[in-house]
Amino acid sequence: MKPSRLIQGGTVVTPTAMYKADVLIQGEQIQAIGTDLAPHPSAEVVDATGLLVLPGVIDAHAHIVLDTGIYKTPDDWLTESRAASFGGVTTVVDFATQFPGQSLEEAVAARLEETRPSTIDYGLHVMITDLPPGQEDALGVLPELGTTSIKLYTTYRPNYYADDATLLRLMEAAGRYGLVTLVHCENDAIVTAATEALVTAGKTSLRYHGAARPMLAEEEAAARVLLLAEAVQAPVVIAHNSSPRTSAMVAAAREQGQLAFSETTPQYLILDASLYEGSEPWRYILQPPLRAPEARKGLWELVVAGQIDMLITDHCDYTQAQKLEHDDFRKTPGGLPGLETLLPLIATYGVAAGHIDWMDLVRMLAENPAQIYGMWPRKGALLPGSDADLVLYDPAGEDTINAEKLHTLAGYTPYEGLRVQGRVVATLRRGEFLVREGEFLAEAGSGQFLHRQPMEFES
């Protein structure tokens, strides 16, 4: 008999309803949700009175153990999945990088060696860096591998950059195989020119990081990628929108029938470019950079209007030492830690602030990423038969974000000192407690690779 648990007396939150109900878990799955459930006498009863019962958070864009070929984060899949568990994240979609000369099978296999210690479930986007013309059909192996999305970049020479012709032919092939293409959009020439102008003026300290990567660079690249994707009828996700105009373009494209989706992050919703003028710009080095307060407000308006599909972290666990090594934005690795703070930040600056409700939160943090990336309804849903990935969240009480209390290796957080409303009381993944009342209970290696489904759409 598999262990069963009854989560009793909580408020269940789905994208369309919030209601008092018990959740009966049998083994790894949800068996039933209701008020008159009769569990097996041996079932463990978990009192969830006063707590919200949310689906486990899916972070559909994270970089655990990131090796760009230039920089490497010193974390591992146990430390980061542990941090994620404390933050209510039960699934990530991370990346397998195709290094030059590697086949896609080799890239995925190599990544699956690194992910082994994970305590949370994970899927992989495949970063394509080396598929010359004529070799596009190599993408056909990805549905068999369960890695049904690819990642491309419009910037970062020489390791990741894809020119327009490359974007077009790889998105076309990806679409044929039901793969979603996630694109990092920044116009490379605009970023290069802005950077060179700053260098000429002797302005290379970290406070100029934002100026080196103008918002127009993102907007132009996003517009172009949307146009290219439309031309070849390829499903596309425009990565980490820092500009509301980017998200609005994606929403408009979808209204016209295009399979286009957007994502943004807590950093663009909560932080802004004034922080580069302060005494600690090193905390905020990421690409795209933080924007003006008006952009932050504009992004919230689109979140409120339901026009942003996913909230993700773009988590990168570079350490404080790596960030402080050079006061030069050209040499400092970009990317911020965020797995553990995603849910509390959106709960606070989204829900408690009155911008969105809990149902919106679970739509953007669970249902949408599961549906867009071929994991629904196994993941991202509180339904009978779904994996029993749950977060018990206490919406009462306040805390302050402090790096010393967090569990990543980074040793810092861009949200240091920010107030958060409520806390994660427990995280369950496939019926097992990962975290309960601040205690980490998961077994290393208990996370599973998710074999995701290709997207079904009419071509």
Which residues in this chain contact Zn ion in the complex, by CB under 5 A?
314
Are 20 and 9 a contacting pair, CB within 8 Å? yes
What are the start-end ranges of the E strands in 241-389? 260-264, 310-311, 315-316
Are 83 and 339 a contacting pair, CB within 8 Å? yes
Q: How far apart are CA 350 and CA 304, in angstroms?
A: 9
Q: How far apart are CA 432 and CA 4, in angstroms?
A: 10
What would the DSSP string read from start to end of 118-135? -SSEEEEEEE-----TT-
Return the number of the residue (63 or 82) whose C-beta is nearest Zn ion: 63
Taking alpha carbons only, the member of 123, 75, 118, 159 closest to residue 337 is 75
Return the number of the residue (309 or 314) whose C-beta is nearest Zn ion: 314
Q: How far apart are CA 162 and CA 356, in angstroms?
A: 37
Return the number of the residue (198 or 237) whose C-beta is nearest Zn ion: 237
Distance in Å, CB of 286 to Zn ion, minimum: 9
Distance in Å, CB of 302 to Zn ion, minimum: 20
Q: How far apart are CA 165 and CA 228, in angstroms?
A: 9
Return the number of the residue (13 or 239) whose C-beta is nearest Zn ion: 239
Distance in Å, CB of 105 to Zn ion, minimum: 23
SS3 26: strand
Distance in Å, CB of 451 to Zn ion, minimum: 22
Q: How far apart are CA 96 and CA 269, in angstroms?
A: 27
Q: What is the dihedral of CA 266, 412, 440, 35, to 10 degrees?
A: -20
**Six token digits for residue 91:** 């699934």
SS3 111: helix
Return the number of the residue (64 or 190) whose C-beta is nearest Zn ion: 64
Return the number of the residue (63 or 423) whose C-beta is nearest Zn ion: 63
Distance in Å, CB of 63 to Zn ion, minimum: 6
Distance in Å, CB of 449 to Zn ion, minimum: 20
Return the number of the residue (24 or 410) whose C-beta is nearest Zn ion: 410
Distance in Å, CB of 124 to Zn ion, minimum: 13
Q: How far apart are CA 292 and CA 276, in angstroms?
A: 11
Return the number of the residue (314 or 389) whose C-beta is nearest Zn ion: 314
Are 396 and 422 a contacting pair, CB within 8 Å? yes
Go through 108-131 and write b for each residue having 16 or more CB atoms within 10 A of its CB, e for each that does not.
Answer: beebeeebebbbbbbbbbbbbbeb
Return the number of the residue (13 or 185) whose C-beta is nearest Zn ion: 185
Q: Which helix (H) or strand (E) holds 420?
A: strand 419-429
Return the number of the residue (21 or 152) whose C-beta is nearest Zn ion: 152
Q: How far apart are CA 118 and CA 106, in angstroms?
A: 20
Distance in Å, CB of 223 to Zn ion, minimum: 20
Helix axes 188-200, 215-231, angle to 10 degrees: 160
Return the number of the residue (243 or 427) whose C-beta is nearest Zn ion: 243
Q: How far apart are CA 77 and CA 79, in angstroms?
A: 6
Distance in Å, CB of 39 to Zn ion, minimum: 42
Instruction: Tell me which residue has its CB nearest to Zn ion.
Output: 314
Distance in Å, CB of 149 to Zn ion, minimum: 13
Distance in Å, CB of 191 to Zn ion, minimum: 16
Q: How far apart are CA 250 and CA 226, in angstroms?
A: 7
Are 225 and 234 a contacting pair, CB within 8 Å? no
